[in-house]
Amino acid sequence: MHPGNVLTGPDGLVVIDPRPCHGDPAFDAVDWVLRSGRDFKEAVAALASTDRDRVRRWSRALAVLLTIRPSRANRPGTAVR
């Protein structure tokens, strides 16, 4: 699931085209938080059933990867896989 699969319907949020997976829900919430267009704290606070501290910790960890990946992709000989 990613933010593009979550739509607002007449009865609230609706997930389309879900793919079954097993993992930490807080990890998946990072995409939603970072792409929601909201202030970070406000977006995390909107997560009703997710461990907010875990979302914050995953966000910190993934921030490093999200920052490094584009910069490495533009340098010859440093392909990112």
Give 55: exposed, middle or buried? Use CB within 10 Å, 0-12, 13-18, 19+. buried
- Which segments of 1-81 does DSSP mark as H helices, in order? 25-35, 40-45, 52-73
According to the model, what pLDDT value does residue 72 have? 63
The DSSP bridge partners found for residue 6 are: 15
Per-residue pLDDT tens digits for 63-78: 888 888 766 666 666 5
What predicted TM-score, i.e. pTM, was given to this entire model?
0.52
pLDDT of amino acid 10: 92
pLDDT in tens, the chain (81 residues): 677 788 888 998 888 876 666 778 888 788 777 777 778 778 777 777 788 888 889 888 888 888 887 666 666 665 555
